Amino acid sequence: MANYDLLIRAPRTVIGRSEVPCAVAVRAGRVAGLWEYDAPAAPEVVSSVVELGADEVLLPGLVDSHVHVNEPGRTDWEGFATATRAAAAGGVTTIVDMPLNSIPPTVDVAALDAKRHAAADQAYVDIGFFGGAVPGNLGALRPLHDAGVFGFKSFMLPSGVDEFAPLSADQLAVAMDEIAAFDAILLVHAEDAATIDAAPSASGRHYADFVSSRPPSAEVRAVETLVGFARETGARVHVLHLSSGDTVPVIAAARGDGVRLTAETCPHYLTLAAEDVPDGDTAYKCCPPIRAGANRDRLWDGLRSGAIDAVVSDHSPCTADLKRLDTGDFGAAWGGIASLQLGLSVVWQAARRRGVQLAQVVEWMATKPADLVGLPQKGRIAEGADADFAVFAPDEESVVDPRALQHKHPVTPYAGRVVAGRVRQTWLRGRPIDLGPDATPRGRLLRRAAA
């Protein structure tokens, strides 16, 4: 038998923060060696050799640590089969599922078991799960941690679904103290409820009115609250879907003081601008909102400085009717953007215009999300890592066609936009992912490694 199952020769390979020619050797689903690009590969040593083209780059499979799959309970919104097919089509080989908007939400071990049962045999990519921190489930947090969730999500204001209630400030502090006891991570939707309650109404077709209903100050005040609690408890805290550049200096200062705080942003905040959103086009609605172009620039600065760690999708789909495209009422429409399949191309299009290298984008969209949730074998091409890859053609441009999306509901604000880069193939543990009609899903359900 040959010593290696596969050798992928790539004239351009993203390894760490560099792009180099390399031959990646694979054995039993893991990276077994990084060889010189032109190293010989005799048949008795390597079973199969794949040669990438000069216009292709071998990337580690992306890791998206913010995905709402919604199954069970709201599978008509999205499900494991469609979500993981979309992930694979976009070069994402690992997702971590949020504890809402499924029914039941993942707030105890029984609900986690139901989620895993629903995902089994449907996953085209690997899937991990977050638990939820909600009023009344303090005693369920440690059992969920022991059952292998990758962290806990909470809200500081209503989530949009009744079965996943927000934590008050006192409840948040208590939950943070509990989670710190076993060194888990708390992920927080950080918008201050009182600030938003005092803001103007969100109803109507004018996007500017919707933005006014969720001002940047709501994010700043929420992050300041989190920083205070994190100082007191020593907990690890992660700020979800950062939209306001005003929060960046608050986060940077806290981290400089040793507070265990991380943050993410999303493709829509980095590539879209409030002034470009047409009235009534509720495909753009998300919470917090897409803000002005100048604010977008500050988010890019936050990424470059390291104050913002990662770029993830916050894939939050719903049925088309809930987007209220017929009325265009931003107040009534569901707030969420489905972009799991599009994130890499959308972000790369904007990044290259700003002089950002592809290896840096990969760090934000693969390595950092993997590190945040504790998946050291994911998000990188390194010896011992899972042989998860995306073959990416960075210079190939295309127009987003919703009909080509694998998402259950192809509603997207990117429809008709030109994007750069195409994922030509995605590999999971050394084998290409088949998305044909008769394909067998090969994804695995992941558990947090025991400390």
Cα–Cα distance measured from residue 107 to residue 130, given in angstroms and rounded to the nearest whole number: 9
Q: What's the CATH number where 165 sits?
A: 3.20.20.140
Does residue 34 sit in the same domain as residue 87?
Answer: no
pLDDT of residue 451: 57
Give the contacts of 406 (CB within 8 A, at least 6 positions apart): 82, 85, 86, 88, 89, 341, 435
Does residue 65 sit in the same domain as residue 97?
Answer: yes
Does residue 281 sit in the same domain as residue 414?
Answer: yes
**Listing from the earlier edge strand, what are the strands of the sheet with 185-189?**
131-132, 152-155, 185-189, 236-239, 261-265, 310-311
Rounded mean pLDDT of 233-256? 98
In a domain, 380, yes or no: no
Structure tokens at 332: 């009534």
pLDDT tens-digit map of 67-126: 999 999 999 999 999 999 999 999 999 999 999 999 999 999 999 999 999 999 999 999
pLDDT tens-digit map of 331-355: 999 999 999 999 999 999 999 999 9
Cα–Cα distance measured from residue 33 to residue 27, given in angstroms and rounded to the nearest whole number: 9
| pLDDT for residue 31 is more than 90 | yes
> What pLDDT band is residue 201 in, cutting at 50, 70 and 90?
confident
Give the contacts of 70 (CB within 8 A, at least 6 positions apart): 77, 78, 79, 101, 102, 317
Q: Which residue has the higher pLDDT, 451 or 358?
A: 358
> What pLDDT band is residue 419 in, cutting at 50, 70 and 90?
very high
| pLDDT for residue 149 is more than 70 | yes
Show the domain range for 88.
61-375+399-420
Does residue 20 sit in the same domain as residue 165?
Answer: no
In a domain, 19, yes or no: yes
User: Partners of 386 in the beta sheet?
Assistant: 30
Does residue 106 sit in the same domain as residue 131?
Answer: yes
Question: Mean pLDDT for the chain?
Answer: 96
pLDDT tens-digit map of 265-299: 999 999 999 999 999 999 999 999 999 999 999 99
pLDDT of residue 1: 61
Does residue 210 sit in the same domain as residue 273?
Answer: yes
- Give 2's DSSP letter: -
In a domain, 351, yes or no: yes
Rounded mean pLDDT of 371-380? 97
pLDDT of residue 421: 95
In a domain, 394, yes or no: no
CB 178 within 8 A of CB 165: no
> What pLDDT band is residue 43 in, cutting at 50, 70 and 90?
confident
**Percent residues over pLDDT 70 in the chain:** 99
Rounded mean pLDDT of 49-76? 98
> What pLDDT band is residue 393 in, cutting at 50, 70 and 90?
very high
pLDDT of residue 45: 87
Does residue 272 sit in the same domain as residue 416?
Answer: yes
Does residue 48 sit in the same domain as residue 175?
Answer: no
In a domain, 450, yes or no: no
Does residue 76 sit in the same domain as residue 39?
Answer: no
Cα–Cα distance measured from residue 283 to residue 299, given in angstroms and rounded to the nearest whole number: 22
Cα–Cα distance measured from residue 187 to residue 366, given in angstroms and rounded to the nearest whole number: 18
Nearest to 218 by CA among 190, 200, 192: 192
> What pLDDT band is residue 396 in, cutting at 50, 70 and 90?
very high
In a domain, 298, yes or no: yes
Does residue 31 sit in the same domain as residue 167?
Answer: no
pLDDT of residue 327: 96
Interaxial angle between packed helices 216-233 and 169-181, expressed in degrees from 0 to 180 and rounded to the nearest 10? 40
| pLDDT for residue 436 is more than 70 | yes
In a domain, 340, yes or no: yes
* Residue ending a domain, choose from 54, 71, 87: 54
- Amino acid letter, residue 257: D
In a domain, 382, yes or no: no
pLDDT of residue 314: 97
pLDDT of residue 345: 97
Does residue 228 sit in the same domain as residue 308?
Answer: yes
Q: Tally the domains of the chain.
A: 2
Does residue 315 sit in the same domain as residue 261?
Answer: yes
Interaxial angle between packed helices 138-146 and 169-181, expressed in degrees from 0 to 180 and rounded to the nearest 10? 30
